[in-house]
Amino acid sequence: MAVTQNYGQARSSCKTLRSSVSISASIRSMSIAKINQSGKALLRKKFTRTKLMEFLASHPSTTFVMEACAGAHFMARRIADLGHEAKLISPQFVRPFVKSNKNDFVDAEAIYEAASRPSMRFVQPRTEVQQAMRALHRVRESLIRDKVKTTNQMHAFLLEFGISMPIGTAVIKRLSVVLAEHELPPYFVQLLMQLHDHDGDIAWWRRYFSRDTWPFTGSGTSKRG
């Protein structure tokens, strides 16, 4: 993530700023590189995440430009809590500005170069609720794909034993009837029942994630059954 120092009136283009501090995030550390307008690196240093927040807490009012990758929206909220401004830039717009072998400092400089372009488009940092809703929709999409996969597997397995079922979820609804009408190996019956139970789990989660009030109620606690 890149950090741009404000001097006077803040503007969207980093070219209007007299210096910048770029920060590149890794799993355990954050690397900073302070760069002036001519591109000369004035400072390079690594922090733990805790130490970085201490550094930023004592830093003058600053505009942060970060790569919009995992954890960036959380960091943007933390930065805003410290009284700074946070901007996010899509990784695809940073990649063309990486000048040498990839490392934290090279990434930080590339973020600065990308953010300094007047026409650059930034990603709006998400709130906690927006992040939660995004996670909800992604899980729902995954559950829908999983349900289709489970149904298709059951159809295919039954066909191996000469049992043809109508396309769709009928195989789930009529499984008990099918098992009663056909003598199948016990281990195969157990496999089908596990898939049937798995489909029930998927259905429960889909109903849970379909609640209009989630996560705004803040409860998020519901017993299955």
CA-atom Rg of the chain in angstroms: 26
CATH 3.30.420 spans which residues of the chain? 2-115
pLDDT attached to residue 219: 43
pLDDT attached to residue 77: 92
Q: What is the pLDDT of residues 62-81, one digit of tens each?
A: 777 888 888 889 988 998 99
Percent over 70 (pLDDT), the chain: 75
Distance in angstroms (rounded) separating the CA atoms of residues 164 and 82: 63
| Residue 215 confidence (pLDDT) above 70 | no
pTM over 0.75: no
Percent over 90 (pLDDT), the chain: 3
Q: Which numeric CATH code is attached to 2-115?
A: 3.30.420
| Residue 152 confidence (pLDDT) above 70 | yes
Nearest alpha-carbon partner for 130 in 74, 87, 80: 74
63/220: higher pLDDT: 63
For 134, 164, 199, the CA distances from 182, given in Å and listed in that order, are 44, 12, 21
Mean pLDDT value of segment 187-216: 74
